Structure 1
Amino acid sequence: MKKLLLLAGLALLMAGSVEAKKPEKQEGYQFTDTKTIPTTSVKDQYSSGTCWSYSALSFIENEVLRAGGPELDLSEMWIVRNMYFDKGVKYVRMHGHLNFGEGGAPHDVTEAIKKFGIVPEEVYPGLNYGTEKPVFGELSAVLKAYLDAVIEARNGKLTTAWQDGFNALLDTYFGPRPETFMYEGKEYTPESFAASLPIDMEDYVHISSFTHHPFYEKFIIEVPDNWMWGQVYNVPLEDLMAIVDNAMENGYSIEWATDVSEKGFSRSKAIAIVPETELESMTGTEAEKWGKLTAAEREAALYEFNGPIKEKTITQEMRQEAFDNYETTDDHGMVIVGTAVDQAGNPFFKVKNSWNVRPPYDGFYYFSRPFFEYKTLSITINKNAIPEEIRTKLGL
């Protein structure tokens, strides 16, 4: 009996020891919004590479709200369909040596509205192929195959029918474009509806920050999805951040082209950070904590998103090196709609995505300030949101 009691006591002691060695449960990131800008509902691009249209149109919808207009749901597929035609024509003119795919850039949207006008979502959902949400697998393959056949020019030269044929394909998949439509009891054309909005497409500019072109001048940003060869204004990193801060302070949202193919970005936790991985950049108890781990253990732990950690200090040179080495690519477009801090007071941007309403933040994501500094390709912004001294340098 004494032996049994002894064994039981030892078992309890061991259990207590094991329990004591369990790591404390991490609380994860906790965000407090410090600035929120009115925005329209979260949309779902689903199985289509059209984030550029969703993000830029969401930004335009926000601008309508900011200007005192109504809450609108504008048609992303109206933009995509019209840009597919222009892209196809250029693809043929370039003998196929142009990126013809689902991707695009924010200026595609502003230029499309200038050229083709815009319509509400209910007027042109653009889903004429039997699905409730965008699914571009067959559509993309068919469009490219058609254009490649045109480029082969088996008749000895291009026929006079190919553009009509391409338009017919686009109408088949997206639906015929209405010349006029009724909306809230009034008849519009796409052009007159665009003109009825309380905003001006000429007010929107695109800005980036790289050193391989002169600052305060325009350049064609060299990314594959920039099939239109659209230009951006180039500013130093500190000016880019001053523009963003000024926009947030004054209630302007921002269309944001960035790269989310990073270990520091978590889809499931809706957060993006740039952890400091170099021990020599850490100090005190922080260095002691991470110094006890192997390099592999340290890297794994840094990307568990268990709570605030030190992030890298981003420089202009780091941005450039990542872009030059294809580490920062034209990956995704979203809309910055506010600012926030985590429980340690670290600054974040609140960002609206186009991946449907999903947990943990109902389709919104939190990106750290260092992540923005490091991985921004470009922003689209109302030129009136730019600080006056920077606007003067840009000649705006």
Structure 2
Amino acid sequence: MKKYVASLAFLTVAFSGFSQKYEFQTVKDLECEPVISQGQTGTCWSFSSTSFLESEIYRINGKHIDLSEMYNVRHTYPKKAWNYIMRQGNAQFGEGGLNHDVINSARDFGIVPVSAFSGMTEGQKAHNHAQMVKELDALVKENAKKPDPAWQNKVDAVLEKYMGKDVTGFTYEGKTYTPKSFLEMTKLKLNDYVTITSFTQSPFYSNFILDIPDNFSYGKMYNVPLDEFIANINNALDKGYTLALDADVSERTFSGKYGIAVVPQNEADEKLILTEIKPEKEITQQFRQAEFENFNTTDDHLMHIVGKVKDQKGNVYYKVKNSWGSDPEKVANGGFVYMSVPYMRLKAISVMVHKKALLSKTKKELDL
């Protein structure tokens, strides 16, 4: 009888070892503003980067400021329209963008709190750009054939119709600001932010333009080996710096519903791995590159890395702030996604971070 009970106990432990539900424990948790929703828009690039800047403001001066994501969007659309029309339609025009587009917008036009510019018209409760994008798309396509001298005014009119009037001055906490003086008040130094990536079509430690559709502004990124790319993410978090992330979320094993992003070693585990710990694939530089070149990895979505967690087996995951809201009926973990190291190695297109957060070796190689 004792032998039977012991055998049963052994089988129970063995079985649980192969099918353990995730139990997460915090490893590193950095300050960020609450998860919000980008609504029916393709503006994750602004939500990601704006959240990143909010965390930077807190890191620099301890202030919690809810910045306007849509202020950056409103000032980026005219740039997209110019690029498309002046290239006579031989360019990308859409809702997408990258982290550096918010930095460029802030540099040119400053930043504002959401209380000064919500990006919504009277009575609107959620962001929805479907009709606005439809009208802008028709406008730029028409003007790419034969430009109307007033096309820029027409673009602005559409933006004002759906997002509201531009902001030139406002009051915040009893003080009057312009968007540029507000930026100055936050003490953000925009030239301190760099984007790093890891692909082999350009030499490592070069500064190159990554050829992806949403890089309409032809922003440059620093290229580093994959192991060093991940080491820099870890170094930044360890030093108290968050990172803005561009990644591929088209995989079935990226799930907002379950709050997990993983790369199963076996395809048969694709479903189970969303709720149970399963072995993950080893990601090499060569495999990452192949998946990028065959379009299995594309820049689908931008988010914000704000910490780390680990499961009961010691596997580490990055805590990634998403912009799909926090409704527990739709998303897990309050709207955060726990992204495994293999997923980050394979599916992260790039990260933007303060240059002081980089490894000394990387800064030296990049001459930063």
Do Structure 1 and Structure 2 share a fold, with TM-score over 0.5?
yes
CA RMSD of aligned residues (A): 1.7
Partners of 2:19 and 2:277 within 8 A in 1:
no
Corresponding residue for residue 307 of structure 1: 276
**Secondary structure of the residue that 2:333 maps to in structure 1?**
coil
Cα 1:56–1:248 shift into 2, 3 Å: same
Query: Is the aligned partner of 1:73 residue 2:62?
Result: no
Aligned to 2:171: 182
- Report if the CA contact (8 A) 2:247-2:300 is conserved: yes
Is 1:106 the counterpart of 2:75? The answer is no
**Which residue is 1:273 aligned to?**
262
**2:44 alignment partner in structure 1:** 51
TM-score by length of 2: 0.92
Partner residue in 2 for 1:292: none
C-alpha distance in structure 2 between counterparts of 1:178 and 1:273, whole Å: 42
The Cα shift of 1:363 comes to: 0.9
> Which secondary structure does the structure 2 equivalent of 1:329 belong to?
coil
Corresponding residue for 1:193?
182
List gaps (5 residues or longer) in structure 2: 1-11
Amino acid across the alignment from 2:33: T
Change (3 A) 1:263 1:252: same
Equivalent position amino acid for 1:162 in 2: W
| Mapped partners of 2:91, 2:97: distance in 1 | 12
Match of 1:353 among 312, 322, 333: 322
| Runs of 4+ with >6 A deviation | none
Distance, in Å, in 1 between the alignment partners of 2:274 and 2:97 is 31
* Alignment coverage as a number of residue pairs: 351
Tell me which structure has the larger Cα radius of gyration.
1
Whether contact under 8 Å (1:76, 1:121) holds in the other structure is yes
Q: Distance in 2 between matches of 1:358 and 1:35?
A: 24
Deviation at 1:129, TM superposition (A): 7.1
Match of 1:239 among 219, 224, 228: 228
CA distance in 2, matches of 1:306, 1:191: 46
Cα displacement string for residues 171-229 of structure 1 (whole angstroms, at most 9, x for unaligned residues): 12111112111111111111111111122001100110000001101111111111101
1:160 corresponds to? 149
CA contact (8 A) 2:42 2:95 kept: yes
Deviation at 1:329, TM superposition (A): 0.4
Indicate the larger mover: 227-236 or 302-311. 302-311
Instruction: Verify: 1:391 aligned to 2:360, yes or no.
Output: no
SS at match of 1:362: helix
Query: How many Å separate the matches in 2 of 1:66 and 1:248?
Result: 12
Structure 2 distance, partners of 1:27, 1:46, is 34
Amino acid at match of 1:220: I
Once residues 162 and 301 of structure 1 are traced to their aligned partners in structure 2, the CA distance between those partners, rounded to angstroms, is 49
Q: For 2:25, which of 27, 32, 35 is the aligned residue?
A: 32
Return 5+ residue gaps in structure 1 as ranges.
1-19, 278-297
Matches within 5 A, 1:1-396: 27-128=20-121, 131-153=124-146, 158-277=147-266, 299=268, 303-359=272-328, 360-396=332-368
